[in-house]
Amino acid sequence: MDIDEFLESEGHSIKEGGRNALVEKQSREFITGRSIEQQIQKIHEFIQQKRFNEAEKIYYVVKEHYTTLEKRQQEERRNVHRQLTEINKELIEHLNKVKSDMEQKGMVITDLLMKARDNMQKGNIEKANQLYLEVRRIFKQMPDAFGERKMMLENQILMFYSQLVNEFNRKKYDNLLGKRDEIMRHIEIATNNVRLGHIESAKREYHIINKLYNELPEGFLYEKTIIYKRILVLYQIVEEGKITAAAPMEPILTEQMPKITAAPLHMQKKHVHKKAEEKPENKKAEPKKEKIKEKKKEMDAPPLPI
């Protein structure tokens, strides 16, 4: 089998008219550009660099140009024929090695994708993602020859990646809903404690709520904003030690937001200082002021959306 038969059997054949058009276009550049010897040298360089697609294109141009040489150029024809024969053997040797390497890597990738899909279906998203990253690493090492086979393999990888992303987002959303329900349950308990006058118990519930809120997954702006409003109302209720207004429950939808970590500046004891400054000469107010400060140190303000 020569190089033409090999390339055609591997899906590299150029359709009728397509090759002629390519050769015709590149032959004009060939005649006005490099000589045959320069083109052949370029083929060898591409083979050494494993750029087989480029080597193949120039090979066909040289071969076509070779057939058009006039009889008076017999010596040049014989020289080109000899070099083309050597290139033919060299290309076949390299492509056979590349084919074997590609088939081996393809089998490894297929096996890894099966394991990754199995882990994804079992809910082990982290392990599935690790296997996917290994697949991408191996795929990048595959040679550029046999483009059709490589494209088919890449399509399988992209299809799995799409499934993995969907499963990852679904798991994150389920986690959000679970945390949200737990937060709302503790808010209800804390509110009932305030109603019964059990302020210390309400504070303990509030600290649990604050911790749960900071464990919410990244993203989901709308849901986090709704939850934050509920926490802020609870914060004000617990501070005052009584229920002044009911916080309506709002619907939960899906958006995305950054991670919430900061504390609200507007909750930083402003009204306490103002009240204390109204009567600075009143010594009886001092113990009350200190008592309020101690009370506020016991609670952190709720995290603020940023």
- CA dist 264 and 270 (Å) reads 12
pLDDT at position 165 over 80? yes
**Where do the domains of the chain lie?**
3-100, 114-167, 171-297
pLDDT, tens digit, 9 for 90 and up, residues 43-86: 888 888 878 888 888 888 887 777 776 655 677 777 778 888 88
pTM: 0.49
- CA dist 38 and 32 (Å) reads 12
pLDDT, tens digit, 9 for 90 and up, residues 225-237: 999 999 999 998 8
Report the candidate in 41, 35, 44 with the shortest Cα–Cα distance to residue 76. 35
Contact predicate 19/50, CB 8 Å: no
pLDDT at position 207 over 70? yes
Mark residue 146 as left, alpha or beta (left: phi above 0; alpha: psi -120 to 50; beta: remaining): left
Please give the share of the chain, as a percent, with pLDDT higher than 90.
28
